Amino acid sequence: MPLRLCLCFHNHQPAGNFDEVFERACTDCYEPLLDCLSRHPGIRAGLHTSGCLIEWMQNRRPAYLEKMARLAGEGRIELLSSGYFEPLLPIFRRNDIKAQIAALGDLLEGFSGVRPKGLWLTERVWEPSIPSLLAGTGISYAVVDDTHLVLAGVPEDRTGRPFLTEDNGNRLVLLASSKSLRYAIPFDPPGDVIDLLRRMEGAGTGLAFYGDDGEKFGVWPGTKELCWDRGWIDSFFDEVEKAGWIESVTPSEAVAALKAEGPVYIPAASYSEMGEWTLPPSVQEEVASLTSGLSREASDRMRRLLRGGFWRNFLSKYPESNELHKRVLHAEKAVKASGDPEALRHFWRSQCNCAYWHGVFGGLYLPHLRDAVWSELSSAERRAAEVTGDLPRVTAADIDCDGADEVHVLTRSLSVLVKAGAGLTVSELTFLPAGRAPVPLGHVLTRRREAYHADISDADDGGSRVRTIHSKLPSTEAGLASRLVLDSYRRVSFRTILLPRDDGREAWFSCSPSVEAPEEPGAQPSVERNGDHLMMSCSLPSGAGHIEKRITLDLSKPVFVFRSSAQGLDGRIAACEMCFNLLTGGEDDRFVKLGSSDSVRTGVAGTGICHDLVVEDGWRKVRIRITSPAFLEVAHMPLDSVNRSEKGYERVHQGMALLLSPGARSGGVLEFRMELGDLG
């Protein structure tokens, strides 16, 4: 019996990614791969294309979709489904995920005439309830990794065939992608991959299943030259076609040809690297210590048996991710109640997984991806509220499930999340200009320690050499290790900051531990609505002293009024920190202007004394104006992270921080008014 080889490709670009990234991925990867499949009739494959990418292609690359439909109609490729906008299936509500799968299934059936039977499991994030989640969707098999089966107790030499699992009697067939093949294709010579397949065939493996990102064939560093200029893919397909002992099959053909074993029961898992990335840095370092000094084979075996972390731990590791996730869940009821398809579409797009986590790819660390999903969420909520007439809306509850209340405010011009249980800080701050897309200004990412920080070099050793994303990564610019700064508190707006009196600004610029950020109120915050105004106040204890704090939000226009007064601070100064995400600090149209002084880019640090200041985002056409009856002492600085992406270690602008301190004659009172304005 020949060895059945099943190749399955997953093509995806996240909602909000830059247009030029879509263009380059299509030109360098997706189109050449589809053309290659067209000219190799002996190769049959599975193909998953996310709804985000399909929607872009419908407008920009319709010829690709026409060719995809033709190959699928001929049975040359099999189209796999998923959640429409590539959500992580287990973390959203079941009925919503079923609806996304059904919607993508409808679209794919329109292309091929065949209802998809297979599911590309987003990031292979598995939880035992998934068979029940998929019940009734028409999905009969799902793609996982061989690591999943090993965790279920299947011997490694038995993972090369379909396996059955179930939940509450709902069955699902699993096809497990071979890690050996994933690491070999396309980085080892084609002949070496054929030799690997021959060894698998000699060991009695009935199926060699390969499922991985399509971006490996032209988007990852150096792979365009390897795969297309040097012809790796054509050479490999030639070798497969002429090998009489290999039969190329689609995933459904593999499932039909080989009797599935089982049932097996897989614990919550993903691919092995994801299990490491979700762990706290100290635990990641412990895992590295356990595997250091071992041979590659022994290290691989130990890493397969070490289960790693649970994907949902990203929600505790990164509060920004948790807040986004819980706000999506919070918004669902109102969006569904509106019955509006436009609101629902925006809501689904807000679930696109890439901005919820961080591994090798930038993900959560990329401001434009966070901006995109927050914008989609606000668009969904605004549209739903317009349909139902439910504006303004004020909701007080423990929205993010951290044990303390938040207040979510939605008006015609603002979406704001006030962390009432954390000193009236504001993390979500989205401007809703009439007639155009929302402008998220909050969601600044706090800079935290990552396990890979110890590997960052000050040398610029970037380049386009061929490598897997699991290889040692280069630094993309000189001096990166020296630029590494960690925050001791979460960067949000309206945060009260305690500065040492003598060198407060310098301490703040250097992120010194001498800068304190009290969060917990001494008494339950007061939240009162009076007509068009929402008034929130709290008392923050500080040693023998205290700080009285009040924020008034206008529900009819995008205006905040802030006031704080401090007593008994033992020589410290109470200031207020505001943090804004303007996506970049290096463009002239993103600037801060203090009083009558010249404007400077938000990527430049500076100080000044003024009654009024402006922060402007000329690209998204929004102006933030802050005015005070008394002089304000102002400092501002960029917040740049040093993180990794598929390109290597890089510096990313996460936002700007603005420090507002009371003048020398203020008596410890800080007052200012902030208004958001539309420049569109």
Q: Among all residues, which ones are annotated catalytic?
A: 123, 213
> Which helix or strand (DSSP H or E) is residue 674 part of?
strand 669-678
Using DSSP's 3-state secondary structure scheme, residue 247 falls into: strand
**Non-local CB neighbours of 152 within 8 Å, separated by 6+ positions:** 163, 165, 264, 265, 266, 267
Calpha distance 84→92 (Å, rounded):
13
**Non-local CB neighbours of 20 within 8 Å, separated by 6+ positions:** none
What single-letter amino acid sits at 676? L
Q: What angle do CA 166, 174, 312 make, to 5 degrees?
A: 75
Q: What is the dihedral of CA 576, 580, 586, 592, to 10 degrees?
A: -50
Calpha distance 395→326 (Å, rounded):
14
Task: Identify whether the C-beta of residue 609 lies closer than 8 Å to the C-beta of residue 633.
Answer: yes
Report DSSP letters for 482-544, one per residue. GG----SS---BSEEEEEETTTHHHHHHTT-TTSB---S-SSPPEEEEETTEEEEEEEEEETT
Using DSSP bridges, classify how beta strands 3-11 and 45-49 pair: parallel, antiparallel or unpaired. Answer: parallel
> Which helix or strand (DSSP H or E) is residue 32 part of?
helix 31-38
> Which helix or strand (DSSP H or E) is residue 54 part of?
helix 51-60
Chain centroid to CA 158: 34
Buried b (16+ CB within 10 A) or exposed e, 371-400: bbbbbbbbbbbbbbbebeeeebebeeeebb
Q: Burial, 465: exposed, middle or buried (Cβ in 10 Å; 0-12, 13-18, 19+)? A: exposed
